[in-house]
């Protein structure tokens, strides 16, 4: 009997689970597309490359989608049980609510463990691919980055130089010089043009360049012996408009997949982050110590060695300002004022540097702790969802969805608030990582207790009966006098 019951409960749970996960995942991915849309357009990316980039970026959202899906699914599952009186039938058969929740609790624990493995092993790898691909797309446009006045060899087989580059996307060029790279036994070619323009080619693997008012200089030396090459005259071709195509497929393919960023902490798992945190802590201590020494030396160079060196001659006492002439007194005061202002500015600049160090250190710790914290969130959300569902006894996409969204918004706001506080140095990053769970866990435990004791927490009639004496004080007596 219990095996059939467990199977039925799990089956009832996974129906809404798969549907809700798909919908939420799609919503979060659309949000990513909206944010990253500017980096997709105008880069000549194929649909396959855009889909690959979206796949890399969307993996991260599983950390938030899975807990929210568990919350919604558990509310809907137990709400449906209550609305169809199946929960009452199970309790009438002597099955406690704890026993009904047990199979889904086991499923939630497995999903939590899956999320931990996913966050620890899969997400770092996809984060590395996504960040490198975004960097390459932004840096290469789509695979080339020209600097005015410099020879570059990014186009395979050519050396090019542009005197001026203008336009919104750098498409207009002036002072064009293009030289075909070849050895002494191959044909030589150089192109010089007054101006030109980059145009999007039909095939993104080719770079289309339209040149105006220029010359082509050629030497046909291939398949010719030494004496023929000596007799070969130079050829010059003048043109008004020249359309050239350059094959850059190798650059694009290599650039988009090249992993130039390798030292980001988000590319590491839970164990590897321990060494990164330790290293960052040592570096921060060393930098702060250097900053402290700099401030002390700027305040007075004598203070850095006053305790170590004994002066051989007696130090002259500092003269009093009252005994100095007016001009000398003003010079001393101006020097002191300038010194104090310099120290204040130096202190402000060091304060910003220390804040950035602490922010980076807090980011690493919070990223590491959330690998495990989000897995615990799944269990807490199940306790909240299953308890709410069994209490309100309403299924479907109405009231359960509203309550789940409110709970998730509270969790999300807490998450962002403590994150900003930790980055600003106002809260310990370890505490900030776990504080949302610490706030929601007592709420989940209290709801679970109310559900197990058949509390009428959301029974409107109960609250009406409690407030009935107060309501009657403000109601008029509508009964007719003759019925008294």
Q: Report pLDDT for 5.
A: 82
- Round to whole Å and give the CA distance between 289 and 143: 43
- Round to whole Å and give the CA distance between 336 and 321: 12
- Round to whole Å and give the CA distance between 352 and 291: 12
Q: Report pLDDT for 377.
A: 92
**Helices 97-117 and 2-40, interaxial angle, to 10°?**
40
Token couple for 428? 């310990």
CB 188 within 8 A of CB 182: yes
Q: Report pLDDT for 378.
A: 93
Token couple for 401? 């969805």
- Round to whole Å and give the CA distance between 335 and 44: 60
Q: Report pLDDT for 143.
A: 41
DSSP state of 444: H
Dihedrals phi, psi of 165, to nearest 5 degrees: -130, 125
pLDDT in tens, 310-358: 555 555 556 666 666 676 667 777 777 777 777 777 677 667 777 777 7
CB 138 within 8 A of CB 39: yes
- Round to whole Å and give the CA distance between 397 and 405: 11
Question: How many Cβ atoms from other residues are within 10 Å of residue 322's Cβ?
Answer: 6
CB 219 within 8 A of CB 232: yes
Positions in the chain short of pLDDT 50 = 141-143, 302, 304, 481, 483-484
């Amino acid at each position: 009997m219990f095996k059939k019951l467990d199977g039925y409960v799990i089956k009832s749970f996974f129906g809404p689970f798969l549907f809700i996960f798909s919908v939420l995942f799609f919503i979060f991915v659309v949000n990513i597309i909206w944010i990253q849309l500017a980096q997709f357009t105008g880069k000549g990316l194929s649909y396959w490359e855009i889909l690959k980039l979206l796949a890399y970026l969307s993996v991260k959202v599983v950390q938030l989608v899975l807990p929210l899906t568990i919350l919604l699914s558990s509310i809907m599952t137990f709400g449906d049980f209550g609305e169809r009186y199946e929960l009452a039938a199970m309790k009438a058969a002597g099955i406690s609510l704890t026993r009904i929740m047990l199979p889904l609790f086991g499923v939630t624990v497995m999903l939590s463990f899956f999320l931990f493995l996913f966050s620890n092993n899969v997400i770092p790898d996809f984060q590395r691919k996504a960040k490198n691909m975004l960097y390459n797309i932004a840096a290469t446009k789509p695979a080339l980055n020209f600097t005015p006045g410099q020879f570059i060899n990014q186009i395979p087989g050519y050396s090019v130089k542009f005197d001026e580059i203008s336009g919104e996307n750098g498409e207009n060029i002036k002072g064009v010089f293009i030289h075909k790279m070849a050895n002494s036994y191959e044909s030589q070619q150089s192109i010089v043009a007054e101006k030109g323009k980059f145009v999007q080619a039909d095939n993104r693997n080719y770079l289309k360049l339209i040149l105006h008012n220029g010359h082509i200089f050629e030497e046909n030396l291939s398949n010719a012996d030494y004496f023929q090459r000596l007799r070969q005259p130079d050829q010059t071709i003048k043109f008004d408009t020249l359309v050239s195509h350059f094959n850059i497929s190798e650059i694009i393919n290599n650039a988009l997949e090249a992993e130039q960023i390798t030292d980001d902490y988000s590319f590491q798992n839970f164990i590897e982050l321990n060494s990164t945190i330790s290293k960052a802590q040592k570096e921060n201590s060393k930098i702060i110590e250097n900053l402290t020494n700099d401030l002390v030396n700027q305040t007075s160079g004598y203070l850095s060695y006053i305790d170590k060196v004994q002066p051989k001659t007696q130090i002259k006492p500092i003269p009093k300002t009252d005994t100095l002439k007016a001009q000398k007194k003003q010079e001393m005061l101006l020097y002191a004022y300038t010194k104090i202002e310099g120290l204040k500015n130096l202190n402000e600049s060091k304060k910003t540097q220390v804040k950035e160090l602490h922010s980076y250190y807090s980011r690493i710790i919070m990223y590491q702790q959330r690998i495990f914290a989000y897995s615990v969130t799944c269990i807490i959300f199940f306790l909240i969802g299953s308890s709410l569902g069994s209490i309100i006894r309403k299924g479907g996409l109405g009231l359960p969805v509203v309550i789940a969204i409110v709970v998730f918004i509270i969790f999300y706001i807490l998450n962002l608030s403590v994150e900003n506080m930790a980055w600003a140095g106002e809260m310990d990053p370890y505490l900030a990582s776990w504080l949302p769970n610490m706030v929601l866990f007592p709420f989940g435990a209290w709801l679970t207790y109310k559900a197990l004791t058949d509390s009428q927490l959301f029974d409107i009639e109960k609250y009406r009966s409690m407030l009935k004496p107060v309501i009657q004080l403000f109601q008029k007596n509508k009964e007719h006098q003759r019925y008294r």
